[in-house]
Structure 1
Amino acid sequence: MIGRLTGILLEKHPPQVLLDVQGVGYEIDVPMSTFYDLPMTGMQTTLYTHLVIREDVHLLFGFATESERQTFRQLIKISGVGARTALALLSGLSVPDLYRAVGDQDSTRLIRVPGIGKKTAERLLLELRDKLDTEGINLDQSSATPNNGSDILNALLSLGYNDREADWAIKQIASNANVSDGIRQALQLLSKEK
């Protein structure tokens, strides 16, 4: 099992990155939460990994934190939830947000993630309720948003961006930005990431 890789980031094409580890290039699929935290190409980075071996393919998934990897592993244990669905969940929700949704049994947060329907969300909530261990996860870890952050966040969500993208953009804008300037800046940042 490949548990962790440290190397030079050669390419970034969401959701896949190419990591050079001592001359060997590893293609690694990462959630957008990890993708946004990656350094520029040419820089060194470390990813916690999970290897999936099937008859026809070997897939390597990478995560910025151990908690993301552990959550991914819990998700893929659920019947009907594959690696791609688990990756989509971690791209759309941060680990603390996912834990909150499970703790509150809030299926609407899960349904906002592309590829997650009502039945899948309900099954996830039911199966994860007792499996997710919240020890070591800071559920009060809220993103540092500007004063008008909730208005900007709501605007971005209504425009179709997911929670992860909106949170990332809000962290990048000036803390004293008014709502209209904040939305404009966030949209410019998000358009560059696409």
Structure 2
Amino acid sequence: MQFIETGFKDLWLMEPKVFGDSRGYFFEAFNANTFLEHTGLKPNFVQQNQSKSQKNVLRGLHLQTGDQSQAKLIRVIQGSVLDVVVDLRKEEPTFGKSYAIELNESNQRQLFVPRNFAHGFLVLEDDTLFTYSCDNYYNPQSELTLKFDDPNFINNWPENIAFNLSEKDAKGLDFKSVIDRMYV
């Protein structure tokens, strides 16, 4: 596994070593000891989620706050997404900045997102399967949605796309409102 620094504390891009032949392929998707050795982090994943989406579906930008905050290990099993995170940790120099990366079934890249980041993704291909492991259980009372196109952070989304959004995501809060709710 190759660990790639992103310029954000504890936000890691990971590329597995894929062993393939005419029968298919194999790779180790996660190893707690290797992860700890390279990152100094020891997440305890307690929940795994999967979604299937069609092209131009935009999900996010989601986060949970306080004690219910979640770190996530994200990957695409089938298809492709543009994955975007926004750092909401006031104490970090990357506060309010975003990071975007394409994750797809060909590159097998994974993104480890630490707690107190907003996360979302744009689906780039039909029938995309997206999965992520979380180090905390989902709690709807602590969930917030950051407006995906808030002008306060860098806009990583492609232009001239009719995004397919859920009602919840279309009503996301602006950056200041999310920060005010996080740091009461």
| Superposition TM-score, scaled by structure 1 size | 0.25
Higher helix share: 1
Structure of greater relative contact order (alpha carbons < 8 Å, 6+ residues apart): 2
Higher strand share: 2
Q: Which has the higher Rg, Structure 1 or Structure 2?
A: 1
